A and B are shown apart, each in its own frame.
Chain A
Amino acid sequence: MRYSERELLSLSRQPAEKAAEILMRLPKKGSVLKKRLVKLVVNFLFYFRTDEAEPIGALLLEHCRIAKEEVNVFSISFIEEPDRKYCFECDSEEQCQEWVEALRRASYEFMRRSLIFYRNEIQKMTGKDPLEQYGISEEARFQLGTHKQ
C-alpha cells in the first residue's frame, strides 16, 4: 500500500498528546524489549529510537485493542490479528494506566462514538440538535449509521 511518508513524518513532529520513553517489544517472534520514545499524535502512535529524530515506525490506532497485561505492561493488538501484540512496559503502574486510557481514546472511531453519544444526550435534554448551529448536522460522519461502501 502506498502512503504519503512525508505527511506521516511531518505528523510525527507535531506536538504530542502524550510522549514518553517506554520499553517496547514488537510482535515479531524473538523480539526483545527496547527503549523507545513513544509519541501519541492524533490517532497515530509513533515510536523512535531514543536518539533519533525520525520515527522507526507508526501505528494507526483504529480498530485496535489496548489491553492491560501484567504489572506496568500494556499491549496493543489489532482486531484482525489479535495475537500479534505490541507490548509496552512502563516505569510505573500509574504511567501504564495513563497510557492505556489515552490510547483507548485516541482513535477516530472512539471520538465519533463519543460525539454521537453527546449529540443524542443533548438532543434528548433540549430537543435540539447541537450540531445544527454549526451547520454540520447532515454530515455523514456524525450520523449513527453512515452509509457503507
Chain B
Amino acid sequence: MRETRLSSPRCARSGRERRRPCRRRWTCPGLRAMKLNERSLAFYATCDSPADNAGFLYKKGERNTAYHKRWFVLKGNMLFYFEEKDSREPVGVIILEGCTVELCEAAEEFAFAIKFGCAKSRTYILAAESQAAMESWVKSLSRASFDYMRLVVKELEKQLEEMQWGLPGCRRVHRRSPIYRKSKPALGPDPAAVAVELPPPREKPPGLSCPSLKENGCAVWNNTPGMKDLPDGGVPGGPADSGSGKPAVGSGCEVGPKPPPLPPRRHASSGNSRGTGPVAAESCVCPGTTSFSRLHDWYGREIIQLRREWLESHRSHQL
C-alpha cells in the first residue's frame, strides 16, 4: 500500500494536485480523501508529553530494500518517525492499533516487523542497533494499543472498587450464584502481542471458598466478611464475576432458611474507621460500622441482592 502524503494529494487519473476530496472518489481509486488533523498530530509528536519509547531504528523502504535510519518516537498508539533526532516535524506516523509485532528473519540483524490484519496493509520492517534495543522496542510496540491500555485500566479500576468495598490485601471471595456465573475474559493473551503475552491474573485462591455452599446449589448466604456484590451498581463485575475455577453449581431452586451472615469481628481499632474511604489495613470491618443503622443498611443490601437473585432464579426455573 502506498503511503500517502497529506499535503498534496494527486488524482491518480488526471495527475492533478487536489486540495479537496475528489467528488468522484468512488470511481477514482488513486485519490486519498481522508483528512487528518495533521498539525495536531505533529504537535503531539514533538511536545513534552511522555514518550513510551524513543531511539534510532532502521526502517526498510517500501519498494526498495534499502534501510533508512530514522529517529522513532512512540507515544501511546502512535509511532512517529523523524529524519533526525531534532527534526521539528515527523516524516510520518504509523498507527499501531490492531497490529502485531514479530521478530523477522530479515537479512538485517535485530529486525522485527509490524504487521496488520488487513491483507493489503503494508508490513513495516524495522531494525534496531542492538539485541537489547530490539527487545525493548518489540515489547513496547506490542503493548502500545489503546485497547490494551483500556483493558489494564479496567482491570485496575475493578480491583480498586472491590477493595473499597471489600478487604484490602485480603483475598476476595466469590459467592457462587448458579444463574449469574459469567466468565469474564481474564487478561489473557493480548491479540496485539505476539512476542509478549500478558500472563493471566493470579487465580483466586480456592482456600477461602464459601464454606456454606450447599449442594442444592442455590445462592447461599455468604458467611465471610467482605461482600463485594452490592446492588448499588457500583461493582461493574456483576453478582458473580470471573470464575476462579469453582464449578457452577446445579440448578436447585429451593433456598433453605439460611441464617444471615454473622457480623464480622470488629477490631478494637475500628472505632476510628468512619466513612467509605479506603479501608485501611487495620480494619476488616465494612466501612462505617460505628453506627448501627449504617451497618444495618450495609447488610441489608446484600440481603436484597440475594433475594433478587433467588427470585430470578426461581422464575427462570419455572419457565
Binding site for B on A (CB under 8 A): 1-11, 14, 42-43, 54-60, 62-64, 78-81, 107-109, 111-112, 114-115, 118-119, 121-122, 124-128, 130-131, 133-136, 139-143, 145-149
| B105 CB within 8 Å of chain A | no
Secondary structure dominating the interface of A: mixed
Q: A57 CA to B266 CA in the complex, in Å?
A: 60
**A136 / chain B contacts, CB cutoff of 8 Å:** 143, 152, 198
**B90 / chain A contacts, CB cutoff of 8 Å:** 1
Q: Are B97 and A7 in contact (CB under 8 A)?
A: yes
Q: Are A6 and B1 in contact (CB under 8 A)?
A: yes
Chain B: CB-nearest residue to A9: B34
Could you say which of A60, A81, A130, A147 has the most chain B C-beta atoms within 10 Å of its C-beta?
A60
Q: Are B40 and A54 in contact (CB under 8 A)?
A: no
Chain A: CB-nearest residue to B156: A118
**5 chain-A/chain-B pairs, Cβ below 8 angstroms:** A1-B92, A5-B3, A62-B78, A108-B146, A149-B46
**A121 / chain B contacts, CB cutoff of 8 Å:** 160, 278
Q: Are B51 and A58 in contact (CB under 8 A)?
A: no
Binding site for A on B (CB under 8 A): 1, 3-6, 21, 25, 32-44, 46-54, 73, 75-78, 85, 89-95, 97-99, 116-118, 120-122, 139-140, 143-147, 149-150, 152-153, 156-157, 159-160, 163, 168-169, 187, 198-199, 201-202, 278-281
Q: A8 CA to B35 CA in the complex, in Å?
A: 11
CB distance from A34 to the nearest CB of B (A): 13
**B169 / chain A contacts, CB cutoff of 8 Å:** 125-128
**B33 / chain A contacts, CB cutoff of 8 Å:** 54, 56
Q: Are A8 and B40 in contact (CB under 8 A)?
A: no
Q: A69 CA to B36 CA in the complex, in Å?
A: 23
**B25 / chain A contacts, CB cutoff of 8 Å:** 54
A-B pairs with beta carbons under 8 A, tally = 221
Chain A: CB-nearest residue to B46: A149
**A58 / chain B contacts, CB cutoff of 8 Å:** 34-37
Given A10-B117, A54-B34, A118-B160 in contact, is the A60-B78 Cβ separation under 8 Å?
Answer: yes
Q: Are B3 and A3 in contact (CB under 8 A)?
A: yes
**A108 / chain B contacts, CB cutoff of 8 Å:** 75-77, 146, 149
**A125 / chain B contacts, CB cutoff of 8 Å:** 160, 163, 168-169, 278-281
CB distance from A38 to the nearest CB of B (A): 14
Q: A20 CA to B50 CA in the complex, in Å?
A: 33
Q: Are A64 and B201 in contact (CB under 8 A)?
A: no
**B160 / chain A contacts, CB cutoff of 8 Å:** 118, 121-122, 125
**A149 / chain B contacts, CB cutoff of 8 Å:** 46, 51, 54, 73, 85
Q: A6 CA to B3 CA in the complex, in Å?
A: 9
CB distance from B25 to the nearest CB of A (A): 7
Q: Which 10 A-B pairs have the closest CB atoms?
A: A2-B92, A108-B76, A57-B35, A146-B50, A118-B156, A42-B146, A78-B40, A141-B52, A80-B43, A125-B168
